Structure 1
Amino acid sequence: MIKAGIIGGSGYTAGELLRILAFHPQVEIDFIYSTTNAGKKVSEIHQDLTGTTNLKFSSTVTADADVVFLCLGHGNSTKFLQQNALGENTVIIDLSNDFRLTPDSEFGGRKFVYGLPEFYKEEIQQAVAIANPGCFATAIQLALLPLAKAGVLPEEVHTTGITGSTGAGVQPSATSHFSWRNNNLSWYKPFNHQHLGEIQQNIALTGAKDSKMSQVTFMPYRGDFTRGILTTNYLKFEGSADQARSIFEDAYKHTPYTIVSDEELHLKQVVNTNKCLIHLHKHDNLLLVTSIIDNLVKGASGQAVQNMNLIFGFEETSGLQLKGSYF
């Protein structure tokens, strides 16, 4: 058994993390740190955990936990680590964007490894700190990196993605409350979404040495639903549909959660799971790659646990055998 701590315990990602870790066979939850809810029962805030745990939020941090998950807003993980000392042997898994880019990946004597298991498994297994990928970044990279690795990703890629309201965080805003979001659809941050940096970085790192640098043009949308991400990525591809499928099947033949499907995709196939499903469609000289994930699980907390499993030598799927909420 290992002891786990959670920093910033009241948000959506922390709630999903607690739901997963509460039933993980090799994990004991040591503390859940929250400055705003210290002393309250966790189930008062995360009401889906009523009857599951009697844990309370804490105002203190246990320095010698085996693993600490940082579920803080972007920019706040750096501040927390500057103000709080963790044990030298404590593994840090950060779910913000503070350490995802290479120039930001070293902090406090630690090297943060980018935590996309499908492409960086060996590095993750040796890591002491993980920069967990963003939700859109996960869905888009799993759709594009096999082509980059094969050297056939063209210079121009067009991507559209739609995400549920939980992607905006637990604090209500003008574009996330029910009466605005319901029966509505809108785009946001066109061409400059914050996840583009890590996407472009890893395309460059993964791409074949003789391939030209690809530029992803990304248009994100807010969806009228709570959770899930669907991306469509289309690009020029001169090979056949069978050749495209072979590239993806080869890339994901040893991965437990990224699956190439013959069927057209919809979000209910992945909501509440750690899966990413990929579908390929060839039209003339264009290839359409569709990917779907749950933004809170594979796009955040589930992937964080997957990374933890790899670091501590557990089965990669431990605690993550989750069935989709299909009905």
Structure 2
Amino acid sequence: MIKVGIVGGAGYTGGELIRLLLNHPNASIHFVHSTSNAGHPLHKVHADLLGETDLLFSAELSNEIDLLFLCMGHGDAAEFLQANKIAASIKIIDLSQDFRLNESPVLNGRTFVYGLPELNREAIIHAQNIANPGCFATAIQLGLLPLAKAGVLTDIYTTGITGSTGAGQGLSSTSHFSWRANNIEAYKTLSHQHVKEITQSLNQLQVGDALSASGEGNGLHFVPWRGDFTRGIYISSIVEIGLPFDEVKHLYQSFYAHAAFTIVSDKMINLKQVVNTNKCLIHLEKQGNKLVVHSAIDNLLKGASGQAVQNMNLLFGLNEKAGLKLKASYF
């Protein structure tokens, strides 16, 4: 059994991770760290865990573990590793954005591999530390990686809508039910923090001219939206491509032929197919030279905690799907 510790277990991603690990055949949770909830049962925060576990939140850390998950806010993970001595033998999977970019600092001798299995599977298997990808970044990249490998990406125009859990558990003016219900809004237009992360990965595969993360010249132009639902991300990316549609479909089918969770669908996809799963579904449409790539994921699973468990499975030589054979709640 993999001995696991979790830091930041009171938020949405922490709660989702706890739920997955409690039912994982090869993992056991040794502590869930939260200074503000120390001594209280997990179900005080995550009410659905009543009757599932007797674990209490802990204010103490332990080095008697094999793997540490960091489910902390952006910037907090780097500060945590600077302030706390974590044994070098302990593997780390960080769910913040602190170590996703190549220019991210190396802390306490630790370097991080970008944890998108469809891109870096072999590097993940041999890694010690993983930077788990962002939710929007995961959905957009999985829709575009085959085109990057073919070297045909230039300008990319992307829109995507996300549920309220993507904003985290802390209340804000746009996460109250009275604001969110029956409402949508664009935000961070052309300036979302995941753009650099996405273009970094696309440039890892792209043959020829590099894509820009600044929005100038060829690159990703992304408009995210807040939706009036709780979980899930739906992306539509438009690119100009001269290849015949059958050749484009072959690119995608070949690229994802051995992917554990990414599936190319011949039919239009929808959110209900992926919510409560670790899947990414992709559907392609083409009119003239314009290709539209639709991709959908659950932001808390394939976009966060599910992908973190997928990375754990790869790190420890387990079946990649262990603990992740989840079915969508379709109705």
Q: Same fold (TM over 0.5)?
A: yes
Q: Displacement, 1:47?
A: 0.9
Q: Displacement, 1:64?
A: 2.8
Q: 1:212 to 1:5 in 2, by over 3 A?
A: closer
Residue-pair matches, total: 325
> Which residue pairs with 2:187 in the alignment?
188
Q: Which amino acid aligns with 1:275?
A: K
Q: Which amino acid aligns with 1:202?
A: S
**Does the aligned pair in 1 maintain the 2:203–2:210 contact within 8 Å?**
no
Query: Which range moved further: 57-66 or 158-167?
Result: 57-66
> Which residue pairs with 2:302 in the alignment?
298
CA RMSD of aligned residues (A): 0.8
Q: Percent identity?
A: 55
**Does the aligned pair in 2 maintain the 1:232–1:290 contact within 8 Å?**
yes
- Of 258, 261, 268, 2:265 maps to 261
**Does the aligned pair in 2 maintain the 1:42–1:56 contact within 8 Å?**
yes
> Which residue pairs with 1:313 in the alignment?
317
SS of equivalent residue, structure 2 residue 57:
coil
**Does the aligned pair in 1 maintain the 2:82–2:107 contact within 8 Å?**
no
**Does the aligned pair in 2 maintain the 1:65–1:87 contact within 8 Å?**
no
Structure 1: which 5+ runs fail to align? none
Distance 2:240 2:64 in 1: 51
> Which residue pairs with 1:239 in the alignment?
243
SS of equivalent residue, structure 1 residue 99:
coil
> Which residue pairs with 1:207 in the alignment?
206
Distance 2:206 2:131 in 1: 21
**Does the aligned pair in 2 maintain the 1:75–1:98 contact within 8 Å?**
yes
- Of 220, 223, 227, 1:219 maps to 223
**Does the aligned pair in 1 maintain the 2:139–2:233 contact within 8 Å?**
yes
Q: Displacement, 1:40?
A: 0.5
> Which residue pairs with 1:157 in the alignment?
156
User: What are the superposed Cα offsets for residues 5-30 of structure 1, whole Å, 9 maximum, x if unpaired?
Assistant: 00011000001000100000010100
Q: Displacement, 1:106?
A: 2.2
Structure 2: which 5+ runs fail to align? 212-217
**Does the aligned pair in 2 maintain the 1:140–1:199 contact within 8 Å?**
yes
Q: Displacement, 1:145?
A: 1.2
Q: Displacement, 1:141?
A: 0.3
Distance 2:159 2:281 in 1: 16
TM-score where L is the length of structure 2: 0.97
SS of equivalent residue, structure 1 residue 39:
coil
SS of equivalent residue, structure 1 residue 171:
coil
Indicate whether 1:166 and 2:165 are aligned.
yes
Indicate whether 1:64 and 2:68 are aligned.
no
**Does the aligned pair in 2 maintain the 1:152–1:211 contact within 8 Å?**
no
Matches within 5 A, 1:1-327: 1-104=1-104, 106-153=106-153, 155-208=154-207, 210-213=208-211, 214-327=218-331
Runs of 4+ residues over 6 Å off in structure 1: none
Query: Which range moved further: 88-97 or 212-221?
Result: 212-221
TM-score where L is the length of structure 1: 0.98
> Which residue pairs with 2:214 in the alignment?
none
Q: Which amino acid aligns with 1:278?
A: I
Distance 2:105 2:116 in 1: 15
Q: Displacement, 1:211?
A: 4.4
